[in-house]
Structure 1
Amino acid sequence: MVTVRRWWGRKGLQVASLALVLGGAWILRQTQGAMLLEVYQVVTSPLQLLQSGQTPAERLEERLKDAQFMEMQTRIQELESQNQQLQNLLGYVQPEPVASRPVPARVVGRSADHWWQQVTLNRGSNSGIQEGYIVKAEGGLVGLVDSVTPNTSRVLLISDLKSQVGVTVSRTSAKGVLRGDSSAEAVLEFYEKVPNVKVGDLVSTSTYSQKFPSGLAVGKIKSLDLKKLPASVAKVELFPPIRSLDWVAVYPKPTNQPQETPQSKKQEQANQQ
């Protein structure tokens, strides 16, 4: 007991001081920790920016882009949800989509004399490909299989002068026929005399197309001639890289597509008047 008292006499002040410091630190952590953390972040933030190689302005721009992306993603999800609700309400029947399992193929033949007309693929009937099958590449629709051998397929490109594709302007549903122009652009002839369209509008395949399912991306309107007779026309910049095709995907042709006839065209125009 005497020994303990002697030890306390020598060490008691130090032990009490240590306990006071630890207690104060614990209280500070509980009450002021958040403030100290904020101060630490403010002090070290410039160092972190220097280490990342970004300036404050670049960091802010990146955050704004991230926020805009998330906002757009949220909006898209909302629109998809609203679209689904409307489809359910109206009993909408979705047109038959392009098959989910395409046949991948590579361009192995292309003539300089027919560069914009046709290409030959390294897959044919042995791979399940048939005449009338749809060919797509990155960006959208490329063309249609018009002849097949056991190991090859010939594709008529949408840039060919003989190509005709029923299309629609996504923003306003204005419809017309897209004709190839032997280039990376095509000519869109509208059914209406003065369609509701503008430069930059997106163009996709129409529900009236006899050869293609609706909704396949084609391109965007590059220029307009609303004074041309008998109907307005537009130059369409094609999305797929037809000039330098390499790999493509081949899909079965659609079935049960609505057929476009002169009567359907007249009825459509009458409904829009």
Structure 2
Amino acid sequence: MLKNTLRRWWDLRLQIAMLGIALSGAWLIRETQGQALFEVYGWVSRPFQVNASEQEQLLNARTKELQDRLTELQAQNQKLQQLLGYVATQKTKGIAAPIIGRSADHWWQQVTLGRGSKDGIRKGFIVMGPGGLVGRIINVTPNTSVVVLISDPTSRVGVAISRSRHMGFLRGKGDKAKNRAVMEFFDNVPNVKPGDMVSTSSFSQLYPAGLPVGRVESLDMNKSPAPEAIIEFSASINSLEWVVVYAHEEPSEIALPQNAPSKINSAQNQSSQEEGGEEKR
């Protein structure tokens, strides 16, 4: 009987001990596995969590992007308003065209417009920007057209001093003189001074007379074979975004003034009297 009592006591103690061990193990497993699972969850979900600082940075970046876009749209709107204001002052109806292409290597030579023959544009049409003359159309496709700029080094434009009507021709200087060109006079002693306005002349073949070109910035009266002036363009050719294209029919002949120096006449003839370099393109 004592033996049976001791066995039952020992079995009870053993069961209690085993239960304690099981409970302790379960508690330890729960604690360690819970911590491990939490760490694994945090590691996996961390890339998808955004704290307050990161969220604020994202909002600030988005706000800055929208502000930059608004500034760009306002600048484009201002340029369009200037262009529309210029168009409103013209008697002839023009075709507004955006500039869609401009090579860094030929920045001062050519631009491509997003309008073409489908819009009524033809080769030889003149191109104006806010302020004055920009160039002329030399190539046309159904949806685009190419403009040779008056700043192109091969460009030759017949011009005159608006105040005194003394004439000469304008040749571009490319990137050597940004937004400027050289006017070579026909007279050896022209009546000209800094600030005088320059426009296309009546003997110009590729452009109609009276188009604003620029103003006299400086003079070199000792230049040979004839005096020269640096002309600052009226239109900001460097930052063109929109232009207006006007129809123009080229006359068959050009009438040079009687007092044009022979060397200048020769230069004019070699370049088809005005802009032969571009016509060879």
Q: Could you state the TM-score of these two structures normalised by the residue count of structure 1? A: 0.59
Residues 212 and 253, structure 1, Cα contact 8 Å, conserved in 2: yes
Deviations 1:50-80 (A, max 9, x none): xxxxxxxxxxxxxxxxxxxxxxxxxxxxxxx
Matched-pair contact (CA < 8 Å) for 1:123–1:129: yes
Does structure 1 residue 195 correspond to structure 2 residue 187? Answer: no
C-alpha change, 1:215 and 1:248, in structure 2 (3 Å) is: same
CA distance in 2, matches of 1:180, 1:242: 12
Is 1:213 the equivalent of 2:213?
no
Give, in whole Å, the separation in 1 of the partners of 2:238 and 2:144: 20
Structure 2 counterpart SS, 1:156? strand
Q: Number of aligned residue pairs: give it.
A: 169
Matched AA of 1:214 = A
* Alignment correspondent of 1:259: 254
Structure 1 segments unaligned to the other structure (5+ residues): 1-97
The answer to whether the 8 A contact 2:117-2:142 is kept is yes
In 1: Cα distance, 2:252 partner to 2:161 partner: 19
Which residue identity lines up with residue 246 of structure 1 in the other structure?
A: E
CA distance in 1, matches of 2:260, 2:219: 22
1:25-67 CA deviation, whole Å, 9 max, x = no partner?
Answer: xxxxxxxxxxxxxxxxxxxxxxxxxxxxxxxxxxxxxxxxxxx
Identity across aligned pairs (percent)?
50
The residue number in structure 2 matching 1:143 is 135
CA distance in 1, matches of 2:223, 2:242: 38
Q: 1:238 aligns with which of 226, 233, 236?
A: 233
**Which residue matches 1:131?**
123
Give the letter for the 1:211 counterpart: L
CA distance in 1, matches of 2:237, 2:260: 32
Say what the alpha-carbon RMSD is for the aligned residues. Answer: 1.7
Asked whether the equivalents of residues 188 and 235 of structure 1 are also in contact (C-alpha less than 8 Å), the reply is yes
Larger Rg: 2
* 8 A Cα contact 2:98 2:241, kept in partner: yes
Inter-partner Cα distance in structure 2 for 1:247 and 1:128: 17
Matched with 2:158 is 166
Shift in Å, 1:253: 1.0
Residue correspondence of structure 1 range 95-134 to structure 2 within 5 A: 100-134=92-126
User: What is the aligned partner in structure 2 of residue 226 from structure 1?
Assistant: 221
Q: Secondary structure at the match of 2:182?
A: strand
